[in-house]
Amino acid sequence: MGKYAQDAKELLGLVGGRENIAAVSHCMTRMRFVLADPSKADIPGIEAMKVVKGSFTQSGQFQVIIGNTVADFYNDFTAAAGIEGVSKDAVKQAAKQNQNVLQRSVTALAEIFAPLIPAIITGGLILGFRNCIDSMYLFENGTKTLCEISQFWAGIDGFLWLIGEAVFHMLPVGICWSVTKKMGTTQMLGIVLGLTLVSGQLLNAYAVAGTAAADIPKWNFGFIEVNMIGYQAQVLPAILAAFTLVYLEKFFRRITPQAVSMIVVPFLSLLLAVMASHFVLGPIGWKIGSVISSVVFAGITGSFKVLFGAIFGFVYAPLVITGLHHMSNAIDLQLIADYEMTMLWPMIALSNIAQGSAVLGMILLQKKNTQAQEVNVPACISCYLGVTEPAIFGVNLKKGFPFVCGMIGSALAGIVCVATGTAANAIGVGGLPGILSIRPEFMGSFAICMAVAVAVPMILTMAVGKKKLTASERGAAAADGSGDIRELKAFLSGKVIPLKEVNDGVFSEGVMGEGIAVIPESEILYAPADAEVTVVMEDSRHACGLRLDNGMEILLHIGIDTVDMKGDGFSYAVAAGQRVKAGDALIRFSRKKIKEYGHPDVTVCIITDPGNAENIQFRTGMDAKEKETILATFA
């Protein structure tokens, strides 16, 4: 039996059983499910499991965050379920049944760029390093760069451009390859198609703007001339060309006899795709891409750039939840192609930092809560290094307020970012190391943005969390005794009786839980311990629920069937969400009114959830004095 066998069986039941699993696989940290009926998944129950750090649904997949041990958990899960896992690609294909057209389009875009991201990040870091050594005037009184005073570094600068050019100028090759790989057609044809878009025979895309129309080289077919223009770093022309190749190949493969398929299919597919790319699709794709990038550029640099930065910074994290954030990759790359920099990506990095900083606020709030820190600390680290899912789904969305605090911090950082015109050479690591991809002249302003993205969410989270989190959630009980509750004091003065003597079917039989009752001699209901008010009855005002700092939940109910009084004779001294101390007034009531309505005024205290309390002992058969007499003890 594996280490996670029991947890695996529990998770299997909570996702709806074997029959509800259409497909399952795992990645580095998460179990990935495609569920036949997603509504059958008991999400609260799943997230309550100690081994689970969070869950979310994205791109038609229900994903459960396990952590670095997910591979072992996966093996135990498939054994417990009696099913064979499938590849991530198979899961993605199965998940499409749960997606609409927009979601499928975004998923396709994400799957195209996912294999390219490591190379793009590497290229961005290289460009950032080259700018540091060949563009920053740090030597000889600020008149020379490192490359100008050192032949060694000048050589390094030239050599590294070999990689930078391969990544960005040759990007269409990678895109065409990735599309054919995703669509299951001949990848080598995709590579060749990409090479025809960046061939040295063509006028380099970066030189087109500075070349007069009459000087642009052309193919002359007698009846028509076509510009010989390259599409270095262009995204949309490559995507359009690649999908054209894919569907041409599928078409010819379907209609061509098998005997000549090896010759006819690749020849006609590639020839027609290259012609379509240079004659029609390339110019159209270039124009569309330029329009998109110019609109984004205008938003970031125009009169309303501060508003643009605030909105984008605020909404980017919610876009991550939906998966729509993947579209930003294409926009970033188009901005780099058109303006040799991107002003969008720095705000993306700041949003990641802000969500990580919200988790940092939770770390400081819950520094005494060992169980919470097992999730908080690794989630914060991974978020600062550019991987946001553990932070967003494992911590921030669970409580809600840290996620919003992160969004606010990201919005403020976005305002500073666009106000200072901060730009990056390329897409980089989406966290603290992202500063290495920022253009040298903007590294100082980006550092200020980073400080905002760290400080604001952390401070806001701590401020809100002090009011939202109970002492037990903060882990205060073990440290300062504020949550070390061992007793319940009298909530009323009067005779204490066992619950079974209340003469009510629900309370007497312990249906709602064990408890104790008091026949009152006073008319103010008091808190029996430090707690948070969790439930109030706005209409009848005859009862309230409390959550103690040890996790225990109790219900205090004045009289039997007093709900019929519709609040007559009752008034609250507290509100839901309010913190109370032992002995604080909760409800004022009239015993006379209760008797006039013909109801008993016996008041019960029911423990609906013991939380961390053990060995609960009730004391009955005595006269209690409110706020002083101990009615129950526990460990």
Where in the sequence numbering do the catalytic residues fall? 27
Q: Which long-range contacts (CB under 8 A, 24 or more apart) does 243-246 make?
A: 243/179, 243/183, 244/272, 244/273, 244/276, 244/277, 244/281, 245/176, 245/179, 245/180, 245/185, 245/189, 245/190, 245/193, 245/269, 245/270, 245/273, 246/179, 246/180, 246/183, 246/185
Query: Hey, what are 572's tokens?
Result: 């609250």
Spatial CA neighbour of 270 closest among 288, 253, 285: 253
CA distance 419 to 498: 68
How far is it between the farthest Cα atoms of the chain? 111
Contacts (Cβ under 8 Å, ≥6 apart) of 364:
458, 462
CA distance 290 to 301: 16
Spatial CA neighbour of 340 closest among 238, 240, 205: 205
CA distance 270 to 621: 93
Contacts (Cβ under 8 Å, ≥6 apart) of 426:
120, 121, 123, 124, 127, 128, 168, 332, 336, 342, 345, 437
10 Å CB burial of residue 279 (0-12, 13-18, 19+) is middle
CA distance 423 to 416: 12
**For the chain, what is the total number of helices (H) and then of strands (E)?**
26, 20
Which DSSP letter does residue 597 get? T
Are 149 and 136 contacting, i.e. CB atoms less than 8 angstroms apart?
Answer: no
CA distance 242 to 178: 9
Spatial CA neighbour of 598 closest among 568, 622, 625, 565: 565
- Checking DSSP bridges between strand 531-536 and strand 543-548, what pairing results, if any? antiparallel
CA distance 206 to 407: 37
Query: Hey, what are 213's tokens?
Result: 């129309």
CA distance 121 to 1: 42
Are 60 and 98 contacting, i.e. CB atoms less than 8 angstroms apart?
Answer: yes
Query: Hey, what are 34's tokens?
Result: 């495609």
Query: Hey, what are 478's tokens?
Result: 């073990």
CA distance 29 to 382: 11
Which DSSP letter does residue 278 get? I
Phi and psi at residue 534, to the nearest 5°: -105, -30
CA distance 609 to 586: 20
The amino acid at 49: M
Are 483 and 471 contacting, i.e. CB atoms less than 8 angstroms apart?
Answer: yes
| Sign, Cα dihedral of 280, 281, 287, 288 | positive
